[in-house]
Structure 1
C-alpha cells in the first residue's frame, strides 16, 4: 500500500485547501478515499451522506502514485480529522514551491505534508506536518462507496453563490429554517417564516435541467439554514456550475462543479413541516 503526490500549481493548491476547509465545516471526521482515477472526500455514514467530493488527480497533482491494499482491491480508504489536514495546508498560501503529500508510518499511519516556506532571508524553511489517519479495513469499505443518487423532482441551475449567501446571511439571523422552492418556469425561492412575517427572495429565469414539461407545480424542501449556508461557502472555489436538486419534501441535493476537476455534492435532509 502506497500513496504520494506532489502539487506545484498555485491554483491547484488553493482549490485543494478550499475543499478541505469546506469538509471541516461539515464534520470532525472524514474519509479520504484514493483510487487510480479519482480522489474522494466523504462525510456521513451508511445511513445518510453529507458531503461527497470527487477530484481528478491529474488536475491537482503533478505527480500521483497510488498502490492499493491488493491487486484486486486497488484502493486506499483513510479516516482523518479534516481540521488537522486544513491546519497543515494553511501554509500553502505562504509558498510558491512544490508541496508533497504521502502516506507514512510514524508509530501510526500518517499523511505527511512536506513543504518549503518562503523567507525574507536567502534560506527557506522546510516544514513537515504529520496528520494521523486510520487505515479503514476492507470489511468497512462498503460504507463509503459512491452514494445512491435519488430521482430528483427538479434540477435548477443556481445563480452566483455570493448573491444567495448575502440573502441567507440576513435570513439566518431571523430563523433557523429555510425553505427552498423551485418550479419549471426557472424560478428559485428562498423563504423563511417568523412569528411576525414571511420573508422570501425570488430568483427568476434560471436554467431548468431535464425534459419534463413546464407546469405550475412547485417543489420544495425545508432544511436547517446553517446547513444550507455551509454549502454557500463553496463560492471560494469559483465553480463553473452549481445546481440545486430537490426531492419534494424529502431532500435537498446541492452540486458544485469545476469542469474536469471537481464534483462536490451536499445532501441535506428535509425537515418535517
Structure 2
C-alpha cells in the first residue's frame, strides 16, 4: 500500500504546514488515516489514562493538487499510518520558500500562570464562561459574557433539552493548565469559529473550525 500527494500552490502548502505545526505541538506521535476524500490526524488512546485526545479532519481536495492511493482494496479504500508530526513539520519547512511569522503565547505574558497548575473552566447556557486560577499566592477569575450557545444535534432520550435546564447553572471541569497552554501556544489553524464543550467534572472538548479544517482537542478533568 502506498499513497502520493502533491501540493503546487504555495498558499495551500503554507496552510497545510500551519495545520501540521499545530498538531506537532499537541502530539509526539499520532495515527494518520488517509481516505479518498479526507485526511485524519488521530490521537485517541490516552484520554482514559489522563492524557489528551485529538481528532483533526482535513478535506484533501482543499490542500492537494494530486492525491493517489495504490494497493488498497476498493472495499476499504483507506490507509492508516503511524506518524511523528514533528518530522512531518520539518519536512514541510524545507519545501517552503515564503517567510512566516509565528506568535507564541508564553508564561511571561501571564505571570499568574507561572505558579498555577490547575485551571477551572465553567460555562452555562446563557453564554457565560469563567476561567479560574487559585494558588497560595493569587486567585484570579476571568469572566466572558455573551458568547452564545451553538445548537447541537437533535435531543435524544438520554439528554435533557436546553429548555428544561437551568440556564444559569454552570458546568465546570478542573483541568491541567499546561495541557490548555499546549493548545493555545501551538494553535496555528486560525479558526473562523472556536467552540468549547464542557462535560461537568469529566472532560473539556475544544473544537476549532476552519472552512477546510476541523480540529478537536480533548482534555480530561482532574479528579
TM-score, scaled to structure 1: 0.68
2:79, 2:187 → 1: CA distance?
30
Confirm or deny that 1:216 pairs with 2:219.
no
Deviation for aligned residue 1:247: 0.4
Q: Which residue does the alignment assign to 1:74?
A: 77
**Gapped regions of structure 1 (runs ≥ 5):** 97-161
SS of 1:12's equivalent in the other structure is helix
CA deviation map 1:33-70 (0-9, x unaligned): 10012101112317656111000001111111124631
Asked if structure 2 preserves the Cα contact closer than 8 Å seen for 1:14 and 1:92, the reply is no
1:22–1:191 distance in 2 versus 1, CA, 3 Å: same
Structure with the bigger RCO (C-alpha within 8 Å, sep 6+) is: 2
Secondary structure class of the residue paired with 1:76: strand
Contact preservation (8 Å) 1:172, 1:226: no
| Cα distance in 2 for residues equivalent to 1:265 and 1:50 | 8
Distance 2:195 2:106 in 1: 15
Quick one: which of 204, 207, 211 aligns to 1:252?
204
CA deviations over 1:174-211 (Å, ceiling 9, x no partner): 20111111112211111111013321111111111236
Q: Does 1:181 align with 2:122?
A: yes
Q: Whole-Å Cα distance in 2 between the matches of residues 5 and 95 of structure 1?
A: 21
Partner of 1:268: 219
Q: Secondary structure at the match of 1:202?
A: strand
Spell out the pairing of 1:139-150 with structure 2 (5 A cutoff).
none
Mapped to 2, the partners of 1:182 and 1:68 lie a distance apart of 48
From 227, 230, 251, the equivalent of 2:179 is: 227
Q: 1:235 to 1:87 in 2, by over 3 A?
A: closer
| Residues 60-139 of structure 1: pairs in structure 2 closer than 5 A | 60-67=63-70, 69-94=72-97
Larger Rg: 1
- Closer, same or farther in 2 for the Cα pair 1:168/1:73, shift >3 Å? farther
Change (3 A) 1:166 1:239: farther
CA contact (8 A) 2:107 2:114 kept: no
Distance 2:209 2:8 in 1: 22
TM-score computed with the length of structure 2 as normaliser: 0.82
**Number of aligned pairs?**
205
Q: Give the match's secondary structure for 1:55.
A: strand
Per-residue deviation, 1:235: 4.7
Q: CA separation of 1:263/1:232 partners in 2, compared to 1, >3 Å: closer, same or farther?
A: same
Give the direction of change, closer, same or farther, for the CA distance of 1:184–1:68 in structure 2 (3 Å limit). Answer: farther
Relative to structure 1, the CA distance from residue 66 to residue 170 in structure 2 (aligned partners, 3 Å threshold; closer, same or farther) is farther
User: What's the C-alpha RMSD, in Å, of the aligned pairs?
Assistant: 2.6
Q: 5+ unaligned residues in a row in structure 2: which ranges?
A: 152-160
